[in-house]
Amino acid sequence: MPASLKYELVSELRDRLQGAEAVFVCEYRGLNVAQATEIRRLVREAGGEMKVAKNTLVRIALSEVGMASPEDLTVGPNVYVIAPTDSPAVAKALKEFAAKKENKAMIIKGAVMGTDVLDLNQVLALADLPSRDQLIAQVVGTIAAPLRGLVTVLSGPARGLVTCLSQLAEKKGSDAA
């Protein structure tokens, strides 16, 4: 491979890795075309991107963007799954795909998150986290709960007054009849 082409590939990888939340390293040897297409679709739907590249070039690009470049993960035929934003969703897609019996050729080796290197167990734990949207919904619900309680408490006296007035009106209406 000519040196100029290597520089271009490293530059392209660096651009894709810039600002990425996580990079998952998987071995894909033994996947057929249909399986490879399916995992690419699942990763794309989760917000990630799959890239096959030479391990040395990926290590160079990772170090250039300030991420860890583990030697032990980047050995053999690998596919690199880049998660720009929602890394738990991408990890969940990889985990669910690899868990199927017919997809046993897909092996999750680990991941890189910033300067940290994650092993398989940590990647699986990341996959078990709720998605970003679920976490945001939980935070909003937690913030809204006290406000909802306050509104209920403040509306109590007004509701009591309305109930009392309606009972008085009913009583006067029944007394007049």
**Do 61 and 111 share a domain, yes or no?**
yes
Query: 22 and 65 share a domain?
Result: yes
CATH number, residue 78: 3.30.70.1730
Kindly state whether residues 102 and 145 are assigned to the same domain.
Answer: no
Nearest to 129 by CA among 99, 92, 94, 96: 92
pTM of the model: 0.73
Q: What is the pLDDT along the chain (177 residues), one digit of tens a residue?
A: 678 888 888 888 888 888 888 999 999 888 889 998 999 999 999 889 999 988 888 899 988 888 888 888 888 888 999 998 888 889 999 999 988 888 888 889 999 998 888 888 988 888 888 877 787 888 888 887 777 777 777 777 777 777 877 888 888 777 765
Q: Are 64 and 110 in the same domain?
A: yes
Please give the residue range of the domain that contains residue 7.
3-129
How many domains, the chain? 2
Residue 124 and residue 146 share a domain: no
Whether residues 138 and 53 fall in one domain? no
**61: which residues sit within 8 A by CB, 6+ positions away?**
10, 13, 14, 17
Same domain (yes/no): 109, 168: no
